[in-house]
Amino acid sequence: MVRNRPTRPYVVCAALVALVLVGQASAQQDTWAGVARIVAVGDVHGDFDQFVKTLRAAEVVDGQDKWIAGKTHLVQLGDILGRGTESRQVLDLMMRLEGQAAAAGGVVHALIGNHEAMVLQDDWRYVQPDDQKAYGGVEEFRKAMSATGKYGQWIRKHNTAIKINDVVFVHAGITPSFGLLSLAQINKTIREELAKGVMDGAATDPFGPLWDRSLALDDPDRVAPQLEAVLRRYGASRMVVGHNVSLDGVSARAGGRLIMVDVGMSKLYGGPAACLVVEKGDFYEVRHPKAKRRLVLENPSKKRAAYSVAPPAIQMARIAID
């Protein structure tokens, strides 16, 4: 879903000012290193069967949906909610897997997507009546997604953006403007906005990390230097995003810097049960039932010299907040 994008520049400026004033970074972890295996799953949109098929294909869970992936890091890139009818089953599974993964030395990362933010801010336009029924009805759904509810509390504690090894994971993307901020600042800002019910901040900004589509849709030649500026800021080489449906499967653009994993797996789109698997630096699409395709990606370091200097405005702003 694409919101109307404001054209007045002060909208972006106001959002940035608010973000810079966030204060000290959250103590919650947002960066991991030395991870041998990562599984990244895009937008689920309440399709439990497709989600489970994807996890089984990637050997994350067994036939009883129990964690079998050892020290793997599972990243779900947001948008569990909205459009579908089985979000509660998906959330319950994610919550169980969190504990099972931790016991095995792995980690489950449930990133916040724009549909999570919408629901937590009482924007239910994409919530299906049958999905609400699974929680017991409208009022029960409201309570479940509240700040003290089982699911609302769980969602609100999670990150928006993380870095594993040299890869940044985020629902929609981080553009140079928001890339002026640390991952900790972005995460703390979104969590605080969702906790306080802020309706005009980073969580709703069309140019923000939950909504922006420019990295996935704009001219790759223009996107590549923008991504380079952001990735250099975080000491990363690639960014993995969901949010933009590609029924052809996991794909890459902008010289391999951006990897898109929203394959439209839900019934609404009819896409495959597929995900991204990163094993010892190699990137693969794994698709149900047993297909595995290696992604042929350019090495960003070969082109890094072309983008070694960020635009002056970005450099100045970066100095101001470091």
Q: pLDDT in tens for each of the 322 residues of the chain?
A: 434 444 333 344 344 433 343 333 334 899 999 999 999 999 999 999 999 999 999 999 999 999 999 999 999 999 999 999 999 999 999 999 999 999 999 999 999 999 999 999 999 999 999 999 999 999 999 999 999 999 999 999 999 999 999 999 999 999 999 999 999 999 999 999 999 999 999 999 999 999 999 999 999 999 999 999 999 999 999 999 999 999 999 999 998 999 999 999 999 999 999 999 999 899 999 999 999 999 999 887 655 544 333 333 333 232 222 2
The Cα angle at residue 15 between residues 304 and 147, in degrees rounded to 5: 110
- With 0-12 CB in 10 A as exposed, 13-18 as middle and 19+ as buried, what is 153? middle
Residue 18 within any structural domain of the chain:
no
The number of folded domains in the chain is 1
Residue 36 within any structural domain of the chain:
yes
Residue 247 within any structural domain of the chain:
yes
pLDDT of amino acid 7: 38
Residue 19 within any structural domain of the chain:
no
Range of the domain at 58: 29-321
31-32 vs 167-170, strand pairing mode: unpaired
Residue 179 within any structural domain of the chain:
yes
CATH number of the domain residue 64 falls in: 3.60.21.10
Residue 207 within any structural domain of the chain:
yes
- State the residue for tokens 């933009």: 244
Residue 96 within any structural domain of the chain:
yes
Neighbours of 192 (CB within 10 A): 17
Residue 6 within any structural domain of the chain:
no
> Whole-angstrom Cα distance, residue 174 to residue 103?
32
Q: Is the peptide bond before 289 cis (omega within 30 degrees of 0)?
A: yes
